[in-house]
Amino acid sequence: SKNTGSLALPVVFCFFLIIQTITFPALRCNCSTAECEKTGSQCETDGACMASTSFIDGREQHIRLCITRDNLVPPGQPFYCLSAKGLLNIHCCYTNYCNNIDLKVPSGELCQVSRGSWGPVELVAVIAGPLFLLCLLLLMGAFLYQYHQRAYSHRQRLEVEDPSCDTLYMTKDRTLQDLIYDLSTSGSGSGLPLFVQRTVARTIVLQEIIGKGRFGEVWRGRWRGGDVAVKIFSSREERSWFREAEIYQTIMLRHENILGFIAADNKDNGTWTQLWLVSDYHEHGSLFDYLNRYSVNIEGMIKLALSAASGLAHLHMEILGTQGKPGIAHRDLKSKNILVKKNCTCAIADLGLAVRHDSATDTIDIAPNQRVGTKRYMAPEVLDETINMRHFDSFKCADIYALGLVYWEITRRCNSGGIHEEYQLPYYDLVPSDPTIEEMRKLVCDQKLRPNIPNWWQSYEALRVMGKIMRECWYANGAARLTALRIKKSLSQLSIEEDLKV
């Protein structure tokens, strides 16, 4: 009885603490936004207090606010709490009124020079540092330029099929690209901090609607003289919006063959929430649109196929280390979800259904529901539900099957010896325009049919190789299929051989 007596106090204390945290999660913070004026410039939250000082468009902004627990993603390094050198200084904390502090202006060169009270040593450092960096950048730029010139010199041939193709990729608006590049290399490698994303998103002017989907609409927008694509989700689709933004902000996801993500924003205008996802804009639109409009030559075909494989290989690959990335499976790969960039390479888009692999626990980051994606592109094991959903690699194999179908769409449009076929969707001759799962299952699993690979492809080395890759993407047994990395290697090899012949 003596023991229980001495335990009583801590137990009661803990009990109260638990009750307190469950029923009154409120952490009190200083708050400087207009909504908080009524509540005496304070707010309550179950998450964190945040103070930020930013330097945007030449103006200094100080903001204090509450961040809800839901917004503290990813855990450990929430986007809301990331600072950005020279642009934004953010402090998140977890005790009452802990954001009652005065953060310094972000220490970019701009602000430091204007402060004035420098000793000679600092002055020299401040002036010589950036100059030195500039020189270094110039040198690197010159180096890279030469390297590219050499690498691409054998591809300078004008493409007959699509005269608008630039061999070197140029963006009209370097400022945004630079900003993202700087931030993603200095910070977490996943893109702009959320706070900057908001600023970007809220200064975009929408221009025209360029697409519609089950989630909402896609618009072309302008930001500081450059084009961006804005995917606007209906408020019903908040989960899709959040998921896609979350995937795009996976550390180290940025890759030249994956659609470049710029910002996510949820604007609450009182009556409804507008959910935005801002990305790079590619005027060619999707691979589906592109193949409908143009045929390609052998070089163009290899370029599209190789870049798509590179993008998928990067997506699938797990990179270990603190600056690593998890393996990601797309789960809705198709020609409508791949964009064609100005230099006629692919960028994989629409990551809303993707799943990430946590190799430490060998788990998948969301409970994957059975059959998502586009029925026409579903792998046999997805159609007949034999896919092993606990095994992450099964999802990668299903992606490869879909990639094979995309290759078939591309290769049909390849113009060799004056022959090329009209654009068609895979299985266009075997199923109606909006096939059911049952129709697809009968075809793909029971009858084991696959898109037709014409005999005449055998007479051209490039087409023959493409046909062979497709067959090896379409095996009924997912594990027997090629990997994205393997395909990438085969196609690199092919591109070297083809270039030698030219």
Ligand X SMILES: *[C@@H]1O[C@H](CO)[C@@H](O)[C@H](O)[C@H]1NC(C)=O
User: Total residues at the site for ligand X (CB under 6 A)?
Assistant: 5
**Are 252 and 185 a contacting pair, CB within 8 Å?**
no
Looking at the chain, how many residues does it have?
Answer: 502
Nearer to ligand X, 103 or 278 (CB): 103
Does 181 help bind ligand X (rule: CB under 6 A)? no
What residues are designated binding site for ATP? 231
Rg (CA), the chain: 27
Specify the pairing of strand 48-56 against strand 59-67.
antiparallel
CB nearer to ligand X: give 33 or 388: 33
265, 280, 332, 350: the catalytic one is 332
CB-hemisphere CA count at 13 Å for 234?
7
Smallest distance from the beta carbon of 86 to ligand X, in angstroms?
24
- Is the alpha carbon torsion for 126, 131, 136, 138 positive or negative? positive
CA dihedral 222, 352, 240, 437 (to 10 degrees): 130
Contact 382, 455 (CB under 8 A): no
Closest to 483 measured CA to CA, from 336, 317, 280: 317
Smallest distance, ligand X to C-beta of residue 44, A = 12
Contacts of 122 by beta carbon, 8 Å cutoff, 6+ apart: none
Q: Which is nearer to ligand X, 99 or 411 (CB)?
A: 99
Q: Is position 100 an interface residue for ligand X (rule: CB under 6 A)?
A: yes
Please say which residue, 100 or 436, places its beta carbon nearer to ligand X: 100
Q: Site map for ligand X, 413-452, x if CB under 6 A? A: ----------------------------------------
- Is residue 61 near ligand X by the rule CB under 6 A? no
* Amino acid found at 40: G
Q: How far is the CB of 49 from ligand X (least distance, A)?
A: 10
Cβ proximity to ligand X, 39 vs 436, nearer residue: 39
Confirm whether 162 is a catalytic residue.
no
- Phi first, then psi, for residue 244 (nearest 5°) are -65, -40
Query: First vs last Cα of the chain: how many Å apart?
Result: 93
Pick from 30, 197, 199, 337: which binds ligand X (CB under 6 A)? 30
Nearer to ligand X, 41 or 146 (CB): 41
Answer positive or negative: Cα dihedral of 277, 314, 281, 173: positive
Can you tell me the distance from the alpha carbon of 349 to that of 336, in angstroms, rounded to the nearest whole number?
9
* 64/243 with CB nearer ligand X: 64
CB of 106 to ligand X, least distance (A): 19
What proportions of the chain, in percent to the nearest 5, are helix, strand and coil?
45, 20, 40
Nearest-approach distance from CB 400 to ligand X, in angstroms: 56
d(CA 90, CA 33): 16
Among 26, 44, 91, 97, binds ligand X (CB under 6 A): 97
What x-and-dash track marks residues 37-56 binding ligand X by CB under 6 A? ----xx--------------
Structural contact between residues 409 and 417, judged by C-beta atoms closer than 8 angstroms? no
The enclosing H or E element of 392 equals helix 392-412
Backbone angles phi, psi at 399, to 5 degrees: -60, -40
Distance CA 82, CA 214 (A): 33
Q: Give the whole-angstrom CA distance, residue 226 versus residue 137.
A: 24
According to DSSP, the β-strands at 328-329 and 355-358 are antiparallel
Tell me the residue nearest to ligand X as measured from the CB.
30
CB 50 → ligand X: shortest distance, Å?
A: 13
Report the interface residues with ligand X, using CB under 6 A. Answer: 30, 41-42, 97, 100
- Catalytic residue positions? 332
